[in-house]
Amino acid sequence: MATNPPLLTAVSSSARQLLLLLRCISFTKKSRVRISAEGIRFSTEEGSLMEAFVFLEKSLFTSYTYNAPPPPCSQDDVPAPPVFEINLTALLETLNIFGLLDPANAMAKRGGEFDSFATHRLNRHNAFSNHALAMPTGICTFSYTGSGSPLSIHMSESGVTTTCDLTTYEASTTEEIPFNRDSLALKTIMRASSLQDTVTELSSMSPETITITATPTSNISFTSSGSLGSATVDFTTNTPLSTSAPILDTFHCPRKTSASFKFGLVKAAQRAMASATKVSLRLDGEGVLSLQFLVELDVEGKEEGEGVAFVDFRVVPLVEGEGDGVDGEGGSSDED
């Protein structure tokens, strides 16, 4: 048993890409990691009110080897995929360790104050740099030997190799916020930037809650309220100008629905809103909010459909009686 092959060896040609995705969910320090044959899933949670996860599909890696752990006993139980917790801040900093070393970046930053000798020195060490060989930036390798061992990240760039062993902690809970896909009260797809603008707009009054109200007549409004007052942003599919593309790609709402959330929780998804191109916003029958962000990745030479990844957020609604009762028609500001 001592010479088991490592459970996971995954090589990515772009640490930057992984960084972009993982940053979306970096609102807490700890992240739960689940490794399976299909990929690595990172998730974070805030209390049990919100959770976010990003699935790094194996196609995102240039090579991905998963050796299922041996079954605990001779019976043919399917072994559970390994789950553990790591310090997400540390992982992000590690992936970004060469962030400042991008030669183009460095040159632009230093500009004139860098004399020729120093430039020569820099270039000497960069003779085989990624740019010279037109290689993607930041090759990194993830490896995990098995339960109790650290998650190792190995990176190599500009003649320096960095190895980081992240201590793995036992996952405290593996419960997820249930989301009922079969009884959707609302489903709409919009540009992530529209949602970001909305949240930014509403956050100026540091509100406590945000209420999402939707009516079957193709109308959705976001209302924030707090001690300083309330504000509403409305979206509609009935675009007055037929020339412009509709702001809502899809809109499905069987009957009027409304749910309120803690504003801070929705705001935690802001980084994802900034990185993503589109977002699918759904409410289920219980009022649980699901935000699924589509992040386009800048992958060269990849087949179509492989250059995207999804970042998911789920938020539990506040109990009824809070943040209700704003009309949504009066005093609203239309966006198109």
Binding-site ranges for other proteins (CB under 8 A): 86-87, 89-90, 93-94, 96-101, 106, 110, 113-115, 117-118, 121-122, 125, 150, 158-167
Give me 60's structure tokens: 């995102």
**Least distance to other proteins from the beta carbon of 92, Å?**
9
Backbone CA torsion sign across 204, 205, 211, 217: negative
**Least distance to other proteins from the beta carbon of 138, Å?**
13
Distance CA 280, CA 187 (A): 7
Contact predicate 309/56, CB 8 Å: yes
Among residues 91 and 318, whose Cβ is nearest to other proteins?
91
Distance CA 153, CA 180 (A): 36
**Least distance to other proteins from the beta carbon of 44, Å?**
15
**Overall size of the chain counted in residues:** 336
Q: Cα 18–22–23 angle (5° rounding)?
A: 115
**Least distance to other proteins from the beta carbon of 97, Å?**
5
Contact predicate 314/50, CB 8 Å: yes
Among residues 99 and 264, whose Cβ is nearest to other proteins?
99
Among residues 35 and 166, whose Cβ is nearest to other proteins?
166
Question: Cβ neighbours of residue 323 under 8 Å, at least 6 residues apart?
Answer: 208, 209, 210, 211, 223, 225, 260
Helices 88-95 & 15-23, crossing angle to 10 degrees? 150
**Least distance to other proteins from the beta carbon of 119, Å?**
8
Q: Cα 128–21–149 angle (5° rounding)?
A: 80
Distance CA 114, CA 200 (A): 39
Among residues 120 and 255, whose Cβ is nearest to other proteins?
120
Among residues 117 and 330, whose Cβ is nearest to other proteins?
117
**Least distance to other proteins from the beta carbon of 287, Å?**
35
- Spatial strand order of the sheet with 333-334 comes to 257-262, 209-215, 219-226, 229-236, 333-334
**Least distance to other proteins from the beta carbon of 87, Å?**
4
Give me 87's structure tokens: 């310090």
